[in-house]
């Protein structure tokens, strides 16, 4: 279990992490999400003991990072943003060095071999790291984090630079590790977090702006969202009819094409207007050709939470362009 309390990091006036608190339970896969410069890496560097916090405390499985750094570091396997590789070593030499460095008590040969198999670097085992492609280097970095079978694994953007097939492999690996490890994973790719994590923490400008499961996040923020409805009929008549419906906050006309009118209709908070829309339409004799709710994808939630200037208008626009794309 990782407990983080009131963590603050002040780089001489620039506050990278601002009073963050959260708990990561055992065998949980936590996604750390945020735009570039949000403080993800700084937070991870503090948890792993690479940096010290200005204020606040971090404890890993009961050990305090400041007071028992060696014990904490023994519990953690860490892949930083740039994999810390010695380019002049072969993969074999490097992993053997890490094994010695971490003072691992497991049988050396079989343990390293098992990890190599797991991350798929067996065929480059005897090559110089300098000559490996970015994807392979990243995997060697992950292998390094797994050495010694630490209980907590922290991966800072583990899928950067990998091709789609490798990304899926790494995701599966993370999911598998999550069964008996605590995993913290950072990313700015939302689909990745959505696919792998049990829980998401969205961080922006050093502050936590959301902490929930991906599903709940998507649900909670979608309540007040608008419906997209396509009617068959005249624009003016439809608007006139819609104005009679109780519970509608705004009616936005989107476009008209071949006698089909599309509207974005936003209900007042707490109103479900779908049935009323249907009744109104049937009463006035214009058919509803399509009705869908503009539920927010994690991507939109992310934009919404991390950008103050991102007004409701802007969200609407982004939803619209997304829909246009889908239609194409």
Partner 1 sequence: MGAIIKRELKEYFTLPLGYVALAVLLYFTGDYYSQKFYSGRADIAYVFSCMLFVILFVVPLITMRMLSEEKHQKTDQLLLTSPTSITSIVLGKFFAAIIYFLIFDFVLLILFLAYYIFGASPDFMVFLGNSIGFILIVAALISIGEFISALTESQIVAGLCGFAVSFMLLFVENAANYTKNDIVLKVTSWLSFSQRFSNFSEGIFDVANFVFFLSITAAFLFLTIRVIDVRRWA
Closest CB to partner 1 among residues 116, 200: 116
Residue pointed to by tokens 């963590």:
7
What is the smallest separation between the CB atom of 178 and partner 1, expressed in angstroms? 21
Kindly state whether residue 278 participates in binding partner 1, applying the rule CB under 8 A: no
Of 138, 144, 186, 194, which lies in the binding site for partner 1, with binding defined by CB under 8 A? 144
Closest CB to partner 1 among residues 29, 53: 53
Of 32, 78, 136, 263, which lies in the binding site for partner 1, with binding defined by CB under 8 A? 78
Kindly state whether residue 92 participates in binding partner 1, applying the rule CB under 8 A: no
What is the smallest separation between the CB atom of 89 and partner 1, expressed in angstroms? 8
Of 84, 107, 109, 259, which lies in the binding site for partner 1, with binding defined by CB under 8 A? 84
Kindly state whether residue 65 participates in binding partner 1, applying the rule CB under 8 A: no
What is the smallest separation between the CB atom of 82 and partner 1, expressed in angstroms? 5
Kindly state whether residue 74 participates in binding partner 1, applying the rule CB under 8 A: yes
Closest CB to partner 1 among residues 30, 129: 129
Kindly state whether residue 182 participates in binding partner 1, applying the rule CB under 8 A: no
Applying the rule CB under 8 A, the residues between 40 and 59 that interact with partner 1 are: 45, 48-52, 54
Kindly state whether residue 160 participates in binding partner 1, applying the rule CB under 8 A: no
Kindly state whether residue 80 participates in binding partner 1, applying the rule CB under 8 A: yes
* Contacts with partner 1, residue ranges (CB under 8 A): 11-12, 45, 48-52, 54, 70-71, 73-74, 76, 78, 80, 82, 84-89, 93, 97-98, 100-103, 144
């Amino acid at each position: 279990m990782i407990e983080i309390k009131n963590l603050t990091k002040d780089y001489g006036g620039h506050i990278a992490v601002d009073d963050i608190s959260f708990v990561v339970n055992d065998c949980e896969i936590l996604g750390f999400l945020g735009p570039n410069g949000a403080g993800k890496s700084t937070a991870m560097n503090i948890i792993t003991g690479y940096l010290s916090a200005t204020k606040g405390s971090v404890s890993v499985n009961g050990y305090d990072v400041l007071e028992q750094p060696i014990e904490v570091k023994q519990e953690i396997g860490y892949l930083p943003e740039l994999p810390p590789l010695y380019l002049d070593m072969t993969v074999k030499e490097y992993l053997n060095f890490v094994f010695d460095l971490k003072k691992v008590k497991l049988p050396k040969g079989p343990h390293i071999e098992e990890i190599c198999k797991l991350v798929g670097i067996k065929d480059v085992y005897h090559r110089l790291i300098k000559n490996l492609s970015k994807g392979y280097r990243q995997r060697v970095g992950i292998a390094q984090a797994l050495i010694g079978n630490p209980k907590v694994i922290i991966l800072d953007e583990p899928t950067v630079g990998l091709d789609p097939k490798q990304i899926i492999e790494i995701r599966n690996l993370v999911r598998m590790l999550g069964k008996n490890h605590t995993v913290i994973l950072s990313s700015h790719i939302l689909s990745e977090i959505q696919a792998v994590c049990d829980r998401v923490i969205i961080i922006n400008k050093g502050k936590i702006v959301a902490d929930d499961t991906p599903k709940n996040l998507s649900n909670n923020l979608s309540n007040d969202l608008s419906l997209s409805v396509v009617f068959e009929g005249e624009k003016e008549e439809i608007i006139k009819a819609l104005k009679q419906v109780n519970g509608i906050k705004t009616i936005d006309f989107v476009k008209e094409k071949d006698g089909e009118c599309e509207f974005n209709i936003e209900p007042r908070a707490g109103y479900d207007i779908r049935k009323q829309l249907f009744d109104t339409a049937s009463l006035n004799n214009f058919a509803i050709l399509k009705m869908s709710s503009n539920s927010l994808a994690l991507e939109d939630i992310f934009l919404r939470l991390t950008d103050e200037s991102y007004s409701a208008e802007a969200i609407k626009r982004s939803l619209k362009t997304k829909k246009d794309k889908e239609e194409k």
